[in-house]
Amino acid sequence: MSDSVSLRGITDFAEDLAREAGELIRRERDHNILRTDYKQQTELVTHADIMADEFITGAIRKRFPDHRILSEESMPDLSQAEELETPLWIVDPIDGTVNYAYGHAQVAVSIAYAENGRVQSGVVHAPFPGETFRATRGDGATLNGNPVYHSGATVPRDSLFATGFPYTKDNLAPLISRLDAMIHQCRDLRRIGSAALDICWVACGRLDIYYENVSPWDFAAARLIALEAGATAGHFSEVPDGYPADLWGRDILISAPAIWEPVRQILRSASGYE
């Protein structure tokens, strides 16, 4: 770490930023005409995304000028995740932008802090229900200050799962194959629209399983929260050599421990990996 701030202090700082950004995006949606645009012609972005991003990244730069930032809106350069020598912040100012634009409550600010490719602190703040998930590596996970734990699910058949789908629709066949397999072998599906909250809901037992292909800013903070809540996190395909697993989002799988390997086998088979 580049100064004397403890990891718990880092998490406190991230929580303060997430809460303030949450108030900003609440205020923008409640009191202003929501301005929207598209990036890459497919993915919705709002003016509030940009405002929250500028607030969070500006505060990090001021406090930790030597640290790097990987942010969905202003600095989405994934090669940042491969440079492991300097501490890295991973930021999603609004995870669930479509939910946000449509007036849904499943919206989150996600902030993670990593050293040497390992996420050490994570905060996911959902401003509309007023829920703050946080974790510091080795200290457990909390929701609004109270400890949280995974569901303890023991078989896929009795398990509730969540996943998501990309904005581009040109390669949906593998995703539909996985969905078909999971629907037939699990209890049911929930489509929440925020990967960070999907994973945090696994952490606190509202869901048993989450899988998807996502970017680091979508899952980095929540993955640590799930791990600290006792869940198992990994991938149902291989992580490239030399890439930090904490930041690799392809074929991510997070679940209660007892069902992780059975679900991994379901997804590998449906994907044609075996």
Residues annotated within a binding site for Mg(2+) = 72, 92, 94-95, 218
Question: What DSSP designation does 240 have?
Answer: P
Helix (H) / strand (E) element for 44: namely strand 43-46
CB contact at 8 A, 231 and 150: yes
What tokens appear for 54 in the block? Answer: 């500028």
Answer positive or negative: Cα dihedral of 27, 31, 35, 36. Answer: positive
What tokens appear for 3 in the block? Answer: 């100064």
Question: In terms of Cα–Cα distance, which of 246, 247, 222 is closest to 79?
Answer: 247
Q: For residue 143, list its beta bridge partners.
A: 133, 146
238 by Cβ neighbours in 10 Å (0-12 / 13-18 / 19+) ranks as exposed
Question: What DSSP designation does 170 have?
Answer: S
Sheet holding 188-190, edge to edge: 188-190, 160-162, 209-212, 252-255, 232-235
Entry field: residues in the chain: 274
Annotated binding site: 72, 92, 94-95, 218
- Beta strands of the chain (E only): which ranges? 36-39, 43-46, 68-71, 88-95, 108-115, 118-126, 131-136, 141-143, 146-147, 160-162, 188-190, 209-212, 232-235, 252-255
Helix axes 173-185, 257-271, angle to 10 degrees: 140
